[in-house]
Structure formats: structure tokens, C-alpha cells
Amino acid sequence: MTTIADRFRLPCGVSLKNRLAKAAMTEQIAGPSHLPNEGHVRLYKRWAEGGPGLIITGNVQVDRRHLEHPGNIVIDKKLGDPTMKWLRAFASAAQENGARALMQISHAGRQTPKLINPSPLAPSGIKVKLPGDQFGEPRSMTTAQIDEVMGRFVLAAQVASEAGFSGVQVHAAHGYLLSSFLSPLANKRSDRYGGALENRARPLLHIVERIRAELPEDFILSVKLNSADFQRGGLTTEDSLRIVEWLEEEGIDLLEISGGSYEQPAMMNMDGMEKRHEEGKAESTKEREAYFLSFAEAVRERSNVPLMVTGGFRSRRAMDEALEGGACDVIGLARPLCVRPDLPNDLLAGENEAAKAYEKSLAIGPGVLSPRSPIKFIKALNGFAVMSFFYENIARMADGQKPVEEMPLLRTFIKQQKQTAKMARALRS
């Protein structure tokens, strides 16, 4: 019987000490230099002490003009000392309790906030459709720019390897650049990077192929992929299954399944979207907790690639059932670890109902102010405001403080928005 406590051997030969993974969460604490610092070291030491077998960093950007947030780490060139010293300290803090750490590498594409870049690069000039005008008018990339970006991912992987990370995770989910190439809604190109699925998947597959070829054999190579975009005309489940087969052929070690984008944040299940995820099987989703298990099972029928499923797992029962039933090999956890960094150890020690510690901080207000509000703007505002709770707790841990279960959401959100705008202004000046 497989349980969360079992070891797991990846195809590259590296073993994970258990089946629990801290999923990627953007830390946003790098400051205007975009470099790792003692905050990252403290934060990842804390998460490592909590006992997961795998730790994935927040998205590290491969281009400083295309950030998900002004406080992201950027790796867009070979780093000299003393920066490498901090990156090494980061990698070793994350791995000091026997976990393996992967650096998540990403390019924010058209989801780069307007404050950072009013005209970011994207597959096509199609703007993110969200109220609030947070994102600029994207520019369609030339083939030379696509080539250049692919090279940046490989360079970031080389730097991660030199710093002592056990591997990288290529972020091809959630609507960022590589994910937007996959989506027929965001990618209207008519060249070799648009149209047919193999064209839309070309940048991702090329990056994966090069990392596998150019990095050491035991370097863990993971990809985070959407099971679908959950938008009419977006990436479909069938498309995604085909991409998984190609990724397996390229020899990746671990596929993490997620879903959605800023326009449709399925990965967070913000407004109870499980009905959509599971096509009417809401009850089974409730029981099984995780949002993307049906997709994982569909992957299993087509591929033997090791699978990590992230999104919604909250109890040991559901985690063990997913592993035992063979739906996945590794369980990803994100939001619960912002409140309870020791959760993996507690689950491993036998605690079952564990993880709803953040439920008190999920809405800016009741009724019409809640995430289920019929008013589109309030709904979107809730989506962003709720995130500020997690960012604040991440910043607390980076600062050596304990996370808290409750905080005034709207006030925290406004405070962070001001800080973000200040950081973005500093970047532009």
C-alpha cells in the first residue's frame, strides 16, 4: 500500500524521502535587485524543517522585463559571487532536512503587470481580459525573440544546477508565457509556433529537450502544466494529454498538474469551480478534495510519467487514497503551508484533518462582498485580496516570525498594493 510516507524514485535516479511536496509559491521578497537574500534562506529553512520530500521555489523569472511581481528573483545571466553565495545558501537551506529542491523557472509573458511593463512580449497581441486594467497591451514575439527566451530558460537551469538545486521546474501553467503559447485563445500565430498543437507546444518542448541534453543526467526536470485552461476555445484536456505524451518522450522526471490562469483561476478553486473541473462530478471532487484528479487518471491511461497533483489536498485520507488508487505519485501542497509550515511532519505523524487553517481569511466580506459575488469586479478583487493573506504570511516567515491564521484582508491587500507600486516605480526609475 502506497502512503505519503513512502520514498519515491524519479526516472533520473534521485529519490524523494516522502510523497509530500511544497508546491511553488511566489515569495515576492527579492527587492529591486531581484537577488536571493537571507529572507529566502530563512523561509526555505522553515519549510524544509516542516518535512516535505520535495520543495519547489516560487517562480524565478528568466527576464527582468517580464516579472510576475517586482519582488521576484531574476536569473537572466550567469551570476558572480557574492550573489551565487546567496543562491547556494538558498538551495542548501531548502535541502538541509533531506528534501530535494527544484527552482521553478518562468517568464510572465502577457501576465506581466502593467506597472512593470506596459507592453510585454507574448505569442500574440492579445491582452489579458480582466477588470481593473492591471495588464498592458502585449506585443507579438518575433521568432528571434522566441529563440532568445528559450535560451534564457536553459541558462537559468544551468545557474540553478551550479547553485546546488536538485533540478528545475519549467512553469508552463497558469497563463504565463509558455502556457499562453499552448492556448489557442492567446496564441493566434500562423508560423511554426502557432496553429497546430505541436506548433504551440514547440517552445516548451524545445526548452525541455535542451535542459535534458545540457544538464547532468541526475538533474531533476519537472514541468507544471495545465490540465486545461477552463475557457471556451482555450487549451483542452485532449490537447493537454497529448502534450503529456510528448513530455514523457522528452524524458521529464515529474509532471505537476494544475489548471487555469488569471482570467480563470481554476488552480485556486476560488469560487467553487469544482463542478467545471470534474464535469458534474462535484460530489466526488468534494470527497477526493483535489481539483485535478480526474485529469490525473486520464494521464495514467496514456502515459507512465511520474505525476504530482496540486490543488485542494487537505487531509491525509484523501492524499493516501490518491496515492493508493494510483492517480498520482506525489501530493502538492501550497496554501496550507503558508499557515502551517509543519503540516507535512504532522501529516506524516498521523494527523488527518489538517489543512483548512486559512479558512478565516478567504473573503473581503460576507454576501455580495464574498468571492461568490455576482459583481465581476468584486469577484476579481477578492481573488487578488485573498492572495495578500498568503503573501503576508510568506513575508512573516521570511522575517523569522510565525504565520497567523487571520488578518484584515482588505487592509493587507491595500498595504501590499502600495508596496508593489512603490517597488515597480523604483524598478522603472
List residues near ligand FMN by CB under 6 A. Answer: 23-26, 58-59, 104, 171, 173-174, 224, 258, 267-268, 310-312, 333-335, 387, 390-391
Q: How far apart are the first and last CA of the chain?
A: 58
CB of 55 or CB of 150, closer to ligand FMN:
55
CB of residue 386 to ligand FMN, shortest distance in Å:
8
> Are the C-beta atoms of residues 274 and 314 closer than 8 Å to each other?
no
CB of 42 or CB of 139, closer to ligand FMN:
42
CB of residue 219 to ligand FMN, shortest distance in Å:
19
CB of 59 or CB of 117, closer to ligand FMN:
59
CB of 171 or CB of 200, closer to ligand FMN:
171
CB of 219 or CB of 358, closer to ligand FMN:
358
CB of residue 102 to ligand FMN, shortest distance in Å:
11
> Are the C-beta atoms of residues 290 and 311 closer than 8 Å to each other?
yes
10 Å Cβ neighbour count for 216?
8
CB of residue 272 to ligand FMN, shortest distance in Å:
13
CB of 195 or CB of 347, closer to ligand FMN:
347
CB of residue 41 to ligand FMN, shortest distance in Å:
18
CB of residue 68 to ligand FMN, shortest distance in Å:
7
Grid cell of 331 as nine digits? 501530493
Grid cell of 5 as nine digits? 510516507
Which of helix, strand or coil describes residue 20? strand
CB of 311 or CB of 344, closer to ligand FMN:
311
Pairing of strands 254-258, 121-122: unpaired
CB of residue 127 to ligand FMN, shortest distance in Å:
22
Q: Is the peptide bond before 374 cis (omega within 30 degrees of 0)?
A: no
**Rg for the chain (alpha carbons), in Å?**
20
> Are the C-beta atoms of residues 72 and 61 closer than 8 Å to each other?
yes
Three-class SS string for 104-169?
EEECCHHHCECCCCCCCEECCCCCCCCCCCCECCCEECCHHHHHHHHHHHHHHHHHHHHHCCCEEE
